[in-house]
Amino acid sequence: MTAVTPVHTDPPTDLWPAPYARGAVDATVTVPGSKSVTNRALVLAALASEPGWLRRPLRSRDTLLMAEALRTLGVRIEETVSSSSSGAGAPGSSGEAWRIIPSPLRGPAAVDVGNAGTVMRFLPPVAALADGPVRFDGDPRSHERPLHGVIDALRALGARVDDEGRGALPMTVHGAGGLDGGTVEIDASSSSQFVSALLLSAPRFNQGVEVRHVGGRLPSLPHIRMTVDMLRAVGAQVDEPEHGGEPNVWRVASSALRGRDLVVEPDLSNAQPFLAAALVTGGRVTVPDWPERTTQPGDELRRIFTEMGGSCELTAAGLTFTGTGRIHGIDVDLGEVGELTPGIAAVAALADSPSTLRGVAHLRLHETDRLAALTKEINELGGDVTETEDGLHIRPRPLHGGVFHTYHDHRMATAGAIIGLAVEGVEIEDVATTAKTLPDFPGMWTEMLGA
Protein backbone atom coordinates (compact mmCIF):
# COMPACT_ATOMS: atom_id res chain seq x y z
CA MET A 1 0.00 0.00 0.00
CA THR A 2 1.71 3.21 -1.13
CA ALA A 3 1.38 6.44 0.78
CA VAL A 4 -0.76 9.18 -0.72
CA THR A 5 0.84 12.62 -0.77
CA PRO A 6 -1.66 15.34 0.12
CA VAL A 7 -2.50 17.61 -2.77
CA HIS A 8 -4.96 20.43 -3.24
CA THR A 9 -5.68 21.75 -6.70
CA ASP A 10 -9.01 23.51 -6.28
CA PRO A 11 -9.39 26.89 -4.57
CA PRO A 12 -10.16 26.30 -0.88
CA THR A 13 -13.75 26.72 0.23
CA ASP A 14 -15.48 26.72 3.59
CA LEU A 15 -12.69 28.53 5.43
CA TRP A 16 -12.93 29.01 9.20
CA PRO A 17 -10.89 31.89 10.68
CA ALA A 18 -8.99 30.23 13.52
CA PRO A 19 -9.45 32.40 16.63
CA TYR A 20 -6.29 34.25 17.73
CA ALA A 21 -5.70 34.29 21.49
CA ARG A 22 -5.07 37.82 22.78
CA GLY A 23 -4.46 36.60 26.31
CA ALA A 24 -4.01 33.56 28.50
CA VAL A 25 -6.79 30.99 28.31
CA ASP A 26 -8.60 30.17 31.57
CA ALA A 27 -11.37 27.66 30.99
CA THR A 28 -13.00 24.39 31.96
CA VAL A 29 -13.71 22.22 28.91
CA THR A 30 -15.96 19.16 29.15
CA VAL A 31 -14.73 16.73 26.51
CA PRO A 32 -17.16 14.20 24.95
CA GLY A 33 -16.71 10.47 25.38
CA SER A 34 -13.94 8.38 23.88
CA LYS A 35 -14.44 7.23 20.30
CA SER A 36 -12.15 4.24 20.84
CA VAL A 37 -14.06 3.09 23.92
CA THR A 38 -17.48 3.77 22.39
CA ASN A 39 -16.87 1.76 19.23
CA ARG A 40 -15.25 -1.17 21.03
CA ALA A 41 -18.10 -1.22 23.54
CA LEU A 42 -20.68 -1.23 20.74
CA VAL A 43 -19.07 -4.28 19.12
CA LEU A 44 -18.78 -6.20 22.39
CA ALA A 45 -22.36 -5.37 23.38
CA ALA A 46 -23.62 -6.51 19.97
CA LEU A 47 -21.86 -9.88 20.44
CA ALA A 48 -22.98 -10.38 24.05
CA SER A 49 -25.51 -12.95 25.24
CA GLU A 50 -27.63 -10.35 27.03
CA PRO A 51 -28.50 -6.65 26.69
CA GLY A 52 -26.13 -3.95 27.90
CA TRP A 53 -25.98 -0.20 28.46
CA LEU A 54 -23.53 2.37 27.14
CA ARG A 55 -23.74 5.65 29.05
CA ARG A 56 -22.34 8.97 27.86
CA PRO A 57 -21.28 7.48 24.51
CA LEU A 58 -19.70 9.69 21.93
CA ARG A 59 -22.09 10.82 19.21
CA SER A 60 -19.86 11.61 16.25
CA ARG A 61 -19.63 10.51 12.64
CA ASP A 62 -17.42 7.50 13.45
CA THR A 63 -19.58 6.20 16.31
CA LEU A 64 -22.86 6.80 14.50
CA LEU A 65 -21.48 4.88 11.52
CA MET A 66 -20.65 2.00 13.86
CA ALA A 67 -24.08 2.04 15.49
CA GLU A 68 -25.88 2.18 12.15
CA ALA A 69 -23.76 -0.65 10.76
CA LEU A 70 -24.66 -2.87 13.71
CA ARG A 71 -28.33 -1.99 13.28
CA THR A 72 -28.01 -3.01 9.62
CA LEU A 73 -26.75 -6.40 10.84
CA GLY A 74 -29.81 -6.81 13.09
CA VAL A 75 -28.65 -5.43 16.45
CA ARG A 76 -31.14 -3.21 18.32
CA ILE A 77 -29.71 0.04 19.70
CA GLU A 78 -32.15 2.21 21.63
CA GLU A 79 -31.14 5.76 22.50
CA THR A 80 -32.38 7.50 25.65
CA VAL A 81 -31.53 10.70 27.50
CA SER A 82 -30.96 10.64 31.25
CA SER A 83 -31.18 13.90 33.17
CA SER A 84 -29.16 12.39 36.02
CA SER A 85 -26.13 11.52 33.91
CA SER A 86 -23.11 13.66 34.71
CA GLY A 87 -21.37 15.63 32.02
CA ALA A 88 -24.53 17.16 30.61
CA GLY A 89 -23.81 19.79 28.03
CA ALA A 90 -20.75 18.16 26.49
CA PRO A 91 -21.30 18.17 22.73
CA GLY A 92 -21.48 14.63 21.46
CA SER A 93 -22.26 12.97 24.78
CA SER A 94 -24.70 15.01 26.93
CA GLY A 95 -26.74 12.75 29.21
CA GLU A 96 -27.30 10.03 26.66
CA ALA A 97 -27.47 6.30 27.20
CA TRP A 98 -27.68 3.59 24.55
CA ARG A 99 -29.27 0.23 25.29
CA ILE A 100 -27.81 -2.47 23.05
CA ILE A 101 -29.94 -5.58 22.55
CA PRO A 102 -28.11 -8.38 20.72
CA SER A 103 -29.95 -10.24 17.96
CA PRO A 104 -28.94 -12.88 15.43
CA LEU A 105 -26.62 -11.21 12.92
CA ARG A 106 -28.05 -11.20 9.43
CA GLY A 107 -27.32 -10.48 5.79
CA PRO A 108 -27.52 -9.42 3.11
CA ALA A 109 -26.45 -6.03 4.34
CA ALA A 110 -24.48 -3.00 3.15
CA VAL A 111 -22.20 -1.17 5.60
CA ASP A 112 -20.97 2.40 5.10
CA VAL A 113 -17.67 2.75 6.95
CA GLY A 114 -17.12 6.42 6.05
CA ASN A 115 -13.40 6.87 6.75
CA ALA A 116 -13.52 5.25 10.19
CA GLY A 117 -10.70 2.78 10.79
CA THR A 118 -12.55 1.14 13.67
CA VAL A 119 -15.63 0.48 11.53
CA MET A 120 -13.80 -0.80 8.45
CA ARG A 121 -11.57 -3.11 10.54
CA PHE A 122 -13.66 -4.19 13.53
CA LEU A 123 -16.80 -5.16 11.63
CA PRO A 124 -15.60 -7.63 8.95
CA PRO A 125 -14.97 -10.33 11.63
CA VAL A 126 -18.46 -9.57 13.00
CA ALA A 127 -19.84 -9.93 9.47
CA ALA A 128 -18.24 -13.38 9.22
CA LEU A 129 -20.61 -14.42 12.03
CA ALA A 130 -23.69 -13.14 10.17
CA ASP A 131 -26.03 -15.26 8.13
CA GLY A 132 -25.50 -13.85 4.63
CA PRO A 133 -23.22 -11.50 2.66
CA VAL A 134 -22.20 -8.11 4.02
CA ARG A 135 -20.74 -5.50 1.66
CA PHE A 136 -18.38 -2.83 3.00
CA ASP A 137 -17.67 0.51 1.31
CA GLY A 138 -16.92 4.06 2.35
CA ASP A 139 -15.37 7.41 1.50
CA PRO A 140 -12.79 7.53 -1.33
CA ARG A 141 -9.92 7.68 1.19
CA SER A 142 -11.17 4.44 2.79
CA HIS A 143 -10.23 2.63 -0.44
CA GLU A 144 -6.59 3.65 0.16
CA ARG A 145 -6.35 2.51 3.79
CA PRO A 146 -4.90 -0.95 4.45
CA LEU A 147 -7.23 -3.83 5.32
CA HIS A 148 -5.03 -6.74 4.25
CA GLY A 149 -4.34 -7.79 7.84
CA VAL A 150 -8.04 -8.37 8.53
CA ILE A 151 -8.87 -9.81 5.11
CA ASP A 152 -5.98 -12.28 5.08
CA ALA A 153 -6.70 -13.34 8.66
CA LEU A 154 -10.38 -13.98 7.99
CA ARG A 155 -9.53 -16.11 4.99
CA ALA A 156 -7.01 -18.08 7.04
CA LEU A 157 -9.71 -18.68 9.63
CA GLY A 158 -12.13 -20.01 7.02
CA ALA A 159 -14.19 -16.99 5.95
CA ARG A 160 -14.93 -16.10 2.35
CA VAL A 161 -14.01 -12.52 1.44
CA ASP A 162 -14.30 -10.93 -2.00
CA ASP A 163 -12.01 -7.91 -2.45
CA GLU A 164 -10.74 -8.56 -6.00
CA GLY A 165 -7.20 -8.76 -4.66
CA ARG A 166 -7.08 -5.16 -3.43
CA GLY A 167 -6.51 -5.81 0.26
CA ALA A 168 -8.78 -2.81 0.72
CA LEU A 169 -12.34 -1.60 0.27
CA PRO A 170 -14.80 -2.14 -1.28
CA MET A 171 -15.26 -5.78 -0.31
CA THR A 172 -17.87 -8.35 0.66
CA VAL A 173 -17.70 -10.76 3.59
CA HIS A 174 -19.87 -13.82 3.04
CA GLY A 175 -21.12 -14.62 6.52
CA ALA A 176 -21.84 -18.26 7.21
CA GLY A 177 -23.39 -17.87 10.63
CA GLY A 178 -20.15 -18.64 12.46
CA LEU A 179 -16.39 -19.08 12.17
CA ASP A 180 -14.18 -21.90 13.44
CA GLY A 181 -11.32 -19.63 14.51
CA GLY A 182 -7.95 -21.00 15.56
CA THR A 183 -4.39 -19.73 15.06
CA VAL A 184 -3.58 -16.99 12.57
CA GLU A 185 -0.47 -14.99 11.72
CA ILE A 186 -0.80 -11.38 10.62
CA ASP A 187 1.41 -8.37 9.96
CA ALA A 188 -0.17 -5.57 11.99
CA SER A 189 2.75 -3.14 11.65
CA SER A 190 0.56 -0.74 9.65
CA SER A 191 -2.30 -0.74 12.18
CA SER A 192 -2.84 -2.21 15.63
CA GLN A 193 -6.54 -2.29 14.73
CA PHE A 194 -5.88 -5.52 12.80
CA VAL A 195 -5.17 -7.24 16.13
CA SER A 196 -8.06 -5.58 17.98
CA ALA A 197 -10.47 -6.50 15.18
CA LEU A 198 -9.81 -10.21 15.58
CA LEU A 199 -9.74 -10.15 19.39
CA LEU A 200 -13.10 -8.38 19.72
CA SER A 201 -15.04 -11.06 17.82
CA ALA A 202 -12.91 -14.01 18.96
CA PRO A 203 -15.14 -15.13 21.87
CA ARG A 204 -17.82 -15.91 19.31
CA PHE A 205 -15.48 -18.05 17.17
CA ASN A 206 -15.95 -21.79 17.77
CA GLN A 207 -12.31 -22.23 18.83
CA GLY A 208 -11.56 -18.67 19.89
CA VAL A 209 -8.45 -17.26 18.29
CA GLU A 210 -4.69 -17.10 18.66
CA VAL A 211 -3.32 -14.01 16.92
CA ARG A 212 0.40 -13.93 16.14
CA HIS A 213 1.89 -10.67 14.95
CA VAL A 214 4.80 -11.49 12.62
CA GLY A 215 5.68 -8.09 11.13
CA GLY A 216 7.74 -5.10 12.21
CA ARG A 217 7.13 -2.78 15.13
CA LEU A 218 3.53 -2.90 16.30
CA PRO A 219 2.18 0.67 16.68
CA SER A 220 -0.41 2.02 19.12
CA LEU A 221 -0.10 -0.72 21.73
CA PRO A 222 -2.30 1.16 24.23
CA HIS A 223 -5.26 0.55 21.92
CA ILE A 224 -4.64 -3.21 22.05
CA ARG A 225 -4.43 -2.99 25.85
CA MET A 226 -7.77 -1.16 25.78
CA THR A 227 -9.27 -3.98 23.71
CA VAL A 228 -7.96 -6.63 26.12
CA ASP A 229 -9.20 -4.78 29.21
CA MET A 230 -12.66 -4.32 27.71
CA LEU A 231 -12.85 -7.98 26.67
CA ARG A 232 -11.99 -9.10 30.20
CA ALA A 233 -14.60 -6.72 31.64
CA VAL A 234 -17.34 -8.61 29.78
CA GLY A 235 -16.09 -12.05 30.79
CA ALA A 236 -13.65 -13.04 28.03
CA GLN A 237 -10.51 -15.06 28.82
CA VAL A 238 -7.48 -13.37 27.25
CA ASP A 239 -3.79 -14.27 27.38
CA GLU A 240 -1.51 -11.43 26.31
CA PRO A 241 2.23 -10.68 26.07
CA GLU A 242 2.25 -8.23 28.97
CA HIS A 243 1.05 -10.80 31.50
CA GLY A 244 3.46 -13.67 30.96
CA GLY A 245 2.34 -14.63 27.46
CA GLU A 246 4.47 -15.06 24.36
CA PRO A 247 5.71 -11.84 22.74
CA ASN A 248 3.33 -10.57 20.04
CA VAL A 249 0.81 -13.35 20.69
CA TRP A 250 -2.76 -12.90 21.98
CA ARG A 251 -5.17 -15.75 22.77
CA VAL A 252 -8.91 -15.37 23.36
CA ALA A 253 -10.99 -18.38 24.38
CA SER A 254 -14.45 -19.09 23.01
CA SER A 255 -17.05 -17.98 25.56
CA ALA A 256 -20.29 -16.10 26.09
CA LEU A 257 -19.96 -12.36 26.74
CA ARG A 258 -21.89 -10.55 29.45
CA GLY A 259 -23.91 -7.43 28.88
CA ARG A 260 -22.34 -4.49 30.66
CA ASP A 261 -23.39 -1.13 32.05
CA LEU A 262 -20.49 1.08 30.96
CA VAL A 263 -19.88 4.80 31.46
CA VAL A 264 -17.59 6.02 28.68
CA GLU A 265 -14.50 8.03 29.69
CA PRO A 266 -13.83 11.44 28.12
CA ASP A 267 -11.78 11.16 24.94
CA LEU A 268 -8.32 12.15 26.15
CA SER A 269 -6.87 12.45 22.65
CA ASN A 270 -9.63 14.92 21.82
CA ALA A 271 -8.65 16.87 24.93
CA GLN A 272 -5.29 17.55 23.27
CA PRO A 273 -6.07 20.84 21.50
CA PHE A 274 -7.57 22.31 24.68
CA LEU A 275 -4.56 21.35 26.79
CA ALA A 276 -2.35 22.71 24.01
CA ALA A 277 -4.22 26.01 24.28
CA ALA A 278 -3.06 26.35 27.89
CA LEU A 279 0.51 25.59 26.83
CA VAL A 280 0.49 27.97 23.85
CA THR A 281 -1.14 30.91 25.66
CA GLY A 282 0.45 30.45 29.08
CA GLY A 283 -3.01 29.84 30.50
CA ARG A 284 -4.95 27.16 32.33
CA VAL A 285 -7.47 24.56 31.16
CA THR A 286 -9.32 22.00 33.28
CA VAL A 287 -10.79 18.84 31.74
CA PRO A 288 -13.35 17.28 34.14
CA ASP A 289 -13.56 13.52 34.78
CA TRP A 290 -10.01 12.74 33.62
CA PRO A 291 -9.54 9.11 34.74
CA GLU A 292 -6.88 8.20 37.28
CA ARG A 293 -6.19 4.97 35.41
CA THR A 294 -6.84 4.46 31.72
CA THR A 295 -5.57 2.67 28.61
CA GLN A 296 -6.28 5.71 26.42
CA PRO A 297 -3.17 6.95 24.58
CA GLY A 298 -4.18 10.54 25.30
CA ASP A 299 -3.12 10.13 28.93
CA GLU A 300 0.49 10.52 27.70
CA LEU A 301 -0.25 14.19 27.09
CA ARG A 302 0.34 14.78 30.79
CA ARG A 303 3.97 13.76 30.38
CA ILE A 304 4.61 15.11 26.89
CA PHE A 305 3.14 18.58 27.38
CA THR A 306 4.82 18.88 30.78
CA GLU A 307 8.16 18.23 29.06
CA MET A 308 7.26 20.92 26.55
CA GLY A 309 6.87 23.56 29.24
CA GLY A 310 3.66 23.14 31.24
CA SER A 311 2.53 21.54 34.45
CA CYS A 312 -0.51 19.50 35.40
CA GLU A 313 -2.47 18.43 38.45
CA LEU A 314 -4.87 15.49 38.55
CA THR A 315 -7.58 15.71 41.20
CA ALA A 316 -11.01 14.24 41.74
CA ALA A 317 -12.38 17.13 39.68
CA GLY A 318 -10.27 16.29 36.66
CA LEU A 319 -7.00 17.36 35.08
CA THR A 320 -5.82 20.97 35.24
CA PHE A 321 -3.03 21.86 32.83
CA THR A 322 -1.15 25.14 33.17
CA GLY A 323 1.22 26.75 30.69
CA THR A 324 4.20 28.87 31.64
CA GLY A 325 4.30 31.09 28.57
CA ARG A 326 7.27 29.19 27.13
CA ILE A 327 7.21 26.14 24.86
CA HIS A 328 10.21 23.86 24.58
CA GLY A 329 11.07 21.48 21.78
CA ILE A 330 11.00 17.74 22.41
CA ASP A 331 12.64 14.58 21.11
CA VAL A 332 10.03 11.87 21.57
CA ASP A 333 9.03 8.45 20.28
CA LEU A 334 5.31 8.57 19.57
CA GLY A 335 4.99 5.03 18.24
CA GLU A 336 2.46 4.01 20.89
CA VAL A 337 0.51 7.29 20.74
CA GLY A 338 0.69 8.23 17.07
CA GLU A 339 -2.72 9.92 17.00
CA LEU A 340 -1.25 12.69 19.18
CA THR A 341 1.36 13.60 16.53
CA PRO A 342 -0.54 16.38 14.68
CA GLY A 343 -1.24 18.34 17.86
CA ILE A 344 2.30 17.86 19.16
CA ALA A 345 3.71 18.96 15.80
CA ALA A 346 1.58 22.12 15.93
CA VAL A 347 2.86 22.99 19.40
CA ALA A 348 6.44 22.16 18.37
CA ALA A 349 6.19 24.61 15.47
CA LEU A 350 5.67 27.34 18.11
CA ALA A 351 8.46 26.20 20.45
CA ASP A 352 11.79 27.86 21.33
CA SER A 353 13.92 24.93 20.15
CA PRO A 354 13.76 22.12 17.56
CA SER A 355 11.75 18.93 17.97
CA THR A 356 12.05 15.42 16.58
CA LEU A 357 8.95 13.21 16.51
CA ARG A 358 9.82 9.54 15.91
CA GLY A 359 8.18 6.13 15.53
CA VAL A 360 5.16 7.23 13.48
CA ALA A 361 5.78 6.04 9.91
CA HIS A 362 2.36 4.33 10.07
CA LEU A 363 0.68 7.77 10.06
CA ARG A 364 1.19 7.85 6.31
CA LEU A 365 -1.76 5.42 6.13
CA HIS A 366 -4.22 7.25 8.39
CA GLU A 367 -7.11 9.54 7.35
CA THR A 368 -4.50 11.21 5.15
CA ASP A 369 -0.71 10.91 4.93
CA ARG A 370 -0.36 12.89 8.14
CA LEU A 371 3.41 13.30 7.93
CA ALA A 372 3.28 14.78 4.43
CA ALA A 373 0.24 16.89 5.32
CA LEU A 374 1.80 18.38 8.46
CA THR A 375 5.03 19.12 6.63
CA LYS A 376 3.26 20.87 3.76
CA GLU A 377 0.80 22.89 5.82
CA ILE A 378 3.20 24.12 8.52
CA ASN A 379 5.82 25.01 5.89
CA GLU A 380 3.26 26.97 3.87
CA LEU A 381 2.76 29.14 6.97
CA GLY A 382 6.51 29.83 7.06
CA GLY A 383 7.64 26.83 9.12
CA ASP A 384 10.61 24.52 8.65
CA VAL A 385 9.48 20.91 8.87
CA THR A 386 11.13 17.94 7.17
CA GLU A 387 9.95 14.36 6.99
CA THR A 388 12.20 11.62 8.27
CA GLU A 389 11.90 7.91 7.64
CA ASP A 390 9.60 7.50 10.63
CA GLY A 391 8.52 10.97 11.67
CA LEU A 392 9.17 14.70 11.55
CA HIS A 393 11.94 17.14 12.40
CA ILE A 394 10.58 20.57 13.27
CA ARG A 395 12.71 23.73 13.49
CA PRO A 396 10.62 26.63 14.78
CA ARG A 397 10.42 29.71 12.59
CA PRO A 398 8.24 32.84 12.74
CA LEU A 399 4.93 31.82 11.19
CA HIS A 400 2.41 33.88 9.23
CA GLY A 401 -1.25 33.56 8.36
CA GLY A 402 -2.64 31.51 5.51
CA VAL A 403 -4.93 28.63 4.64
CA PHE A 404 -4.35 25.42 6.59
CA HIS A 405 -5.71 22.48 4.57
CA THR A 406 -7.13 19.47 6.42
CA TYR A 407 -7.52 16.75 3.75
CA HIS A 408 -10.73 15.62 5.50
CA ASP A 409 -8.64 14.74 8.59
CA HIS A 410 -10.04 15.83 11.95
CA ARG A 411 -6.65 15.97 13.66
CA MET A 412 -5.23 18.20 10.93
CA ALA A 413 -8.06 20.64 11.61
CA THR A 414 -7.39 20.80 15.35
CA ALA A 415 -3.64 21.14 14.70
CA GLY A 416 -4.33 24.19 12.55
CA ALA A 417 -6.50 25.68 15.28
CA ILE A 418 -3.66 25.31 17.79
CA ILE A 419 -1.31 27.25 15.50
CA GLY A 420 -4.00 29.87 14.97
CA LEU A 421 -3.96 30.71 18.67
CA ALA A 422 -0.48 32.20 18.27
CA VAL A 423 -0.50 33.23 14.60
CA GLU A 424 -2.99 35.76 13.28
CA GLY A 425 -4.71 35.11 9.99
CA VAL A 426 -4.79 31.30 9.95
CA GLU A 427 -7.85 29.93 8.17
CA ILE A 428 -8.84 26.27 8.50
CA GLU A 429 -10.26 24.58 5.45
CA ASP A 430 -13.23 22.30 6.20
CA VAL A 431 -13.16 22.58 10.00
CA ALA A 432 -16.42 20.57 9.93
CA THR A 433 -14.29 17.44 9.44
CA THR A 434 -13.74 17.53 13.23
CA ALA A 435 -17.25 16.07 13.55
CA LYS A 436 -15.63 12.71 12.82
CA THR A 437 -14.77 12.41 16.52
CA LEU A 438 -15.38 15.81 18.16
CA PRO A 439 -18.83 17.34 17.48
CA ASP A 440 -19.03 21.14 17.49
CA PHE A 441 -15.29 21.68 17.88
CA PRO A 442 -15.57 25.27 16.59
CA GLY A 443 -18.18 26.08 19.24
CA MET A 444 -16.14 24.47 22.02
CA TRP A 445 -12.99 26.30 20.85
CA THR A 446 -14.55 29.75 20.78
CA GLU A 447 -16.30 29.13 24.11
CA MET A 448 -12.95 28.19 25.65
CA LEU A 449 -11.55 31.51 24.47
CA GLY A 450 -14.52 33.41 25.89
CA ALA A 451 -15.65 34.51 22.45
What residues act catalytically? 339
Separation between Cα atoms, residue 123 and residue 273, nearest integer Å: 30
User: Cβ(357)–Cβ(345) under 8 Å?
Assistant: yes
As to burial, measured by CB atoms within 10 angstroms (0-12 exposed, 13-18 middle, 19+ buried), residue 178 is middle
Q: Find, among 253, 225, 223, 219, the residue nearest to 238 by Cα.
A: 253
User: Cβ(259)–Cβ(302) under 8 Å?
Assistant: no
CA atoms within 13 A on the CB side of 194: 29
Tell me the longest C-alpha to C-alpha distance in the chain: 61
Cis peptide before 6 (omega within 30 of 0): no
Separation between Cα atoms, residue 342 and residue 414, nearest integer Å: 8
As to burial, measured by CB atoms within 10 angstroms (0-12 exposed, 13-18 middle, 19+ buried), residue 71 is middle
Q: Phi and psi (nearest 5°) for 410?
A: -60, -35
Separation between Cα atoms, residue 327 and residue 357, nearest integer Å: 15
Cis peptide before 57 (omega within 30 of 0): no
